[in-house]
Amino acid sequence: MTDTAYEPLTTETLAKRLGQITAITQKLGNDISGWTADEVGDGNLNLVFIVRSDQGAVIVKQALPYVRLVGDAWPLPLKRAFFEYNALIRQAERDPGSVPKVYHFDEAQALIVMEFLSPHVILRHSLMAGKRHQGLARRMGEFCARTLFRGSDLSMDTMRKKADTALFLDNGELCDITENLVFSDPYFDAEMNHHTPGLDPIVARMRADIDLKIAAQQMKARFATNTETLLHGDLHTGSIMVTDDETMVIDPEFATYGPMGFDIGMLIANFFMAYYAQPGHIPDAKMRADYQEWILSVITEIWTVFQDEFSRLWRSERRGILYQASLFEDQGDHLACEQALAAHIDHIFTDMLGFAGVEMIRRTLSLAHIAENDTIENETLRAACEGRGLRLGRALAVKRGDFAGMGAVLSLARAIDRKDWA
Ligand code: SR1
Ligand code: MG
């Protein structure tokens, strides 16, 4: 683009403004009169266009200078596009094929031109339609293990890690959103909070629950003060696109250095919420139960694959600042190396459960909810689904250190689902 002052694109101006960019014309051709642009953004923050010609299609994502969900009363810096671009590049290196290819980045216009994923759909929509996806759990377990390991002090040397941490530290406004919406707002009467009216009694109990409030602040401290690895930062089921057998991760604009358990915790929380929302989407009891079990099997497999892949990387690629081979393998001390790995995975597991718990609570009480629940029109049914999620969320946050393994977590999830809490 020749103009450098930021200006939001429109479906009318897009072709003219982007028509000179070689990276795009290589995909769409030079005849911009044949290009069409549709704005398809359904997230909370940005403009997203699908631009098509008879030769191909690309996605153009542009940051707006405010939070789209709320409007211009809530300004938000454009630089988040820079962090999204930088995160996409790192994720592509660390887990090739897991994210859309980036064709072009324009920092002044806060826009990224990237691969149009087709026939992919947003996983959250698919979970509302009762669809199953082959390889979903495997890919997400691998994605988390590879990006979290390779973005950490276990893989990076001191200078690289420090420089990259400093770079992403500037994504502060997005961290501030997470710190407030996820860890604090649900626990008091914050301005933008909203919830289904039938939840009033449980919400009052939760806001008076000292153990829960402290647990949420402990998780906030883990998030705000720990730079273990480069996180995606917003890894929910709306940030995943799927076909029957392919899984891709999108939207890492909340990327920041933080604790390993954060991404994977957010991820499993969103599967648990989809699990509890199914009474609002599948009326047949048997079909619903089968589908709910499939969702739980995805959670189990994500965690199993994560552990396996993380362990493989620990044993084969641990060349960073922490747990140097010179202290372990080089001295023939393989046992200590395995012991340290087990302890590391244990601490990720505990953090993961804590982050999953607060994510489930915030998606029901804070500003940004989830479509699985929002689309349940019957308020009594919606409150029942959301209430179960709140109960599991509370248990995961407060008792995160007490679960023997994922099997115990799933047993509790099922027990909460079976009970009529009305
Ligand atoms: C104001 S942004 C609200 C939420 O949308 C994003 O997807 C993040 O999850 C954020 O918390
Ligand atoms: Mg997003």
Can you spell out the DSSP letters for 338-392? HHHHHHHHHHHHHHHHHHHHHHHHHHHHSS---HHHHT---HHHHHHHHHHHHHH
Confidence at residue 422, expressed as pLDDT on a 0 to 100 scale: 62
Name the closest ligand to CA 122: 2
Which atom of ligand 1 is closest in space to residue 177's alpha carbon?
11
Task: Say what the pLDDT of residue 1 is.
Answer: 59
Identify the pLDDT of residue 42.
84
CA-proximal residue: ligand 1, atom 4 (nearest): 368
Digit-coded pLDDT (tens) for 136-176: 999 999 999 999 999 999 999 999 999 999 999 999 999 99
Can you tell me whether residue 330 is helix, strand or coil? helix
CB–CB of 159/323 below 8 Å?
Answer: no
The pTM assigned to this predicted structure is 0.97
Q: Which residues surround the ion ligand 2 when the cut-off is CB under 5 Å?
A: 43, 251
**Residues 6 or more apart from 78 whose CB is under 8 A from it?**
6, 63, 65, 110
Q: What is the pLDDT of residue 80?
A: 97
- What's the pLDDT at 92? 98
Distance 238 CA to ligand 1 centre (A): 11
Pocket test for ligand 1, best of 180, 367, 370 (most atoms within 8 A of CB): 367
pLDDT of residue 25: 97
The CA 42 to ligand 2 mean position distance, Å, reads: 9
Å from CA of 351 to ligand 1 middle: 21
Q: Return the pLDDT at 421.
A: 75
Q: How far is the CA of 44 from the centre of ligand 1 (A)?
A: 6
The pLDDT, as a whole number, for residue 290 is: 98
Q: Going by CA atoms, what residue is nearest to atom 8 of ligand 1?
A: 234
Report residues of the chain scoring pLDDT below 70: 1-3, 422
DSSP collapsed to 3 states, 400-412: CCCCCCHHHHHHH
Rounded CA separation 280/157 (Å): 49
Q: Are 276 and 412 in contact (CB under 8 A)?
A: no
Q: Give the pLDDT confidence score for residue 3 in this predicted structure.
A: 57
Question: Cα 206 to the chain's mean position, in Å?
Answer: 25
